[in-house]
Amino acid sequence: MTLDAAQGGPDLRGRIRAMVHGVAFGDAMGAPVEKLSAAEIRERYGRVTSLRTAWHRDGQDEVQRKGRVRGHGITTDDTAMTLSLMRIYAAERRHLDAWDMATGMVREIAWESRWVPELQRVTPLIERLFYPEKWIFQRLQLSGCDPRQGGVGNMVNCGATMYIAPVGAVNACNPRAAYDEAINFAAGHQQSYGLEAAGAFAAAVARAFVPGATLDEVVRTAHDLAHDGTRSAIAEVVAAAEDLRRKGAGAEEVTEVLHRAIAPFSPMGDDVAHGPEKAGRATAAYQPSRLLSIEELPLALGFCITAGGDFRQAVVDGINSGRDTDSIGVMVGAILGAMHGPEVIDPEDAALLDSANRLTLAADADRFAEAVADIMEGDAARATDIAAGRRILLQTTFERSAE
């Protein structure tokens, strides 16, 4: 199936390949500098522009590194969970909801063993996941709660948003459906503005698949479908980014201004590391709120704008801004990958991502694309049936009115 061959643009398979590449590329670019501030990145690296970058924790002992390795193309849980969601779609061949989080995703993270690049061994992914993602197993298997309530009580973060791009692909060209499905599925994992961002991001990815879509249309879609603090944060960051773009601002000014724009909605700031000094203190950044937003999605949209939609520049600018660099890179990469298609895939980068992580990203993307095509064809058949039924209802209604 090709969605847009008539327009001469990338087809569905090509866009999905580019989206998946964008996820892995943005993730691996940001992973070596995650949790550093922008100033710390400048001090240590100058500016990170290549996948072949050493992790800032290289040289620490294994305990300090939590047994992990990063750098030189290694991806994190963002990519691993994105691939997990793609496998669930490939197996089910239908739209997903919270019950699939409770079955498919629990199996993927807790009961399937695969190569985990950061741990350099074959193991269930849960051994690598952060606590808000381990929550999926805790709530949906060990606690056995209603899947729709799985996210209740979880630490609010970007964990659902970081892997939700495949929902946008499944609902390509239908942002409202992407938003709804992302919310239905990720409700088994996240709550509040952590859930809201997942819906808005999936919608943006779905809009990016529309042939000829502009970046302005993609950004406006995310804003218009978002609610509460997420919508307000997107509006503020986008307004700032558009002004910076008009001024031709440099990278340091862009980061400073965008961080200032997101600050009222995200108390996180540069203090993103967890340690014993924070024991017993739950920060406001991770509590449910209708006023707050995760940082990563609004900032990702902002960097897309200031880079003028240029894939590589937007990823590089985003990951050099510090903080949750890998997830910002993932969101930028997914949106612009889906929008531009295979032209964003550098063969050398793609080869490094595959070799460093023991992956076959193009083949994984193609298998997922086949499932997406099947789901789309089912959607089209249902839409035809619905339209036919409505025509009959309308026709008979007005015929009776005429009598």
User: Where are the chain's structural domains?
Assistant: 13-275+283-402
3 pLDDT more than 60: no
What's the first-to-final CA gap in the chain, in angstroms?
47
Question: To which residue do tokens 């601002």 refer?
Answer: 249
From the DSSP assignment, how many helices (H) and strands (E) are in the chain? 17, 2
Q: Could you give phi then psi for residue 384, rounded to 5 degrees?
A: -65, -45
Residue 281 pLDDT class (50, 70, 90 cuts): low
This prediction has a pTM of 0.94
Please name which of 158, 167, 186, 378 lies closest in space to residue 286, comparing C-alpha atoms: 158
Identify the band that residue 276 occupies on the pLDDT scale cut at 50, 70 and 90: confident
Q: Work out the pLDDT band at 6, boundaries 50, 70, 90.
A: very low
2 has pLDDT over 70:
no
Q: Tell me: pLDDT of 200 over 80.
A: yes
Number of other residues whose CB lies within 10 A of the CB of residue 246: 8
Q: Please compute the mean of the pLDDT values over residues 117-134 and round it to a whole number.
A: 97
pLDDT of 277 above 80: no
- The reply to whether 113 sits in an annotated binding site is no
Please, which residues have CB within 8 angstroms of residue 6's CB and are 6 or more apart in sequence?
none
> Is residue 141 over pLDDT 90?
yes
- For residue 385, the model assigns a pLDDT of 95
Residue 30 has a CB neighbour count (10 Å cut-off) of 32
- 153 touches 249 (CB < 8 A): no
Rg of the chain (C-alpha set): 21
Which ranges of 68-124 does DSSP label H, i.e. alpha helix?
A: 77-92, 98-100, 106
Residue 4 has pLDDT above 60, yes or no: no
In the three-class reduction of DSSP (H, G, I as helix; E, B as strand; rest coil), residue 282 is classed as: coil
Tell whether residue 366 is among the known ligand binding residues: no
- Taking the mean position of all CA atoms in its chain, how far away is CA 326? 10
| 13-275+283-402: CATH topology | ADP-ribosylglycohydrolase fold (1.10.4080)
What percent of the chain is predicted at pLDDT more than 70?
A: 94
326 in a labelled binding site: yes
77 is in an annotated binding site: yes
Average pLDDT over residues 166-185: 98
Res 145 pLDDT > 60: yes
CB of 87 closer than 8 Å to CB of 75:
no
